[in-house]
Amino acid sequence: MRKGKHLGLIVPSAIIPEARNIVINPNHPMMKEVTIEMIRDFTFDAKLQP
């Protein structure tokens, strides 16, 4: 990602096994075209906290 070749990197979620997170490269030329499609509330499960 440092070279700016990739817009984003899809990585597995550490909290939700079925979910994926996308790390977005803010320096990529197509960054200006990135949009947020959906925002969801997330409640952190207290059992996962130390």
pLDDT digits (tens, 9 = 90+) for 11-31: 999 888 899 999 999 989 999
The answer to whether residue 39 sits within a structural domain is no
Domain residues for 10? 1-27
User: Between these two residues, 8 and 1, which has the higher pLDDT value?
Assistant: 8
Q: Are 23 and 9 in contact (CB under 8 A)?
A: yes
The predicted structure's pLDDT at residue 1? 62
Determine the Cα–Cα distance for residues 44 and 37; give it in Å rounded to an integer.
22
Secondary structure (3-state) at 31 = helix
The predicted structure's pLDDT at residue 34? 93
- What total of structural domains would you count in the chain? 1
The answer to whether residue 21 sits within a structural domain is yes
Residue reference for tokens 């490269």: 25
The answer to whether residue 36 sits within a structural domain is no
Task: Using a pLDDT cut of 70, give the percent of the chain over it.
Answer: 92
Amino acid at 46: A
The answer to whether residue 16 sits within a structural domain is yes
The predicted structure's pLDDT at residue 2? 67
Could you count the other beta carbons within 10 Å of the beta carbon of residue 31? 13
The answer to whether residue 49 sits within a structural domain is no
The answer to whether residue 13 sits within a structural domain is yes
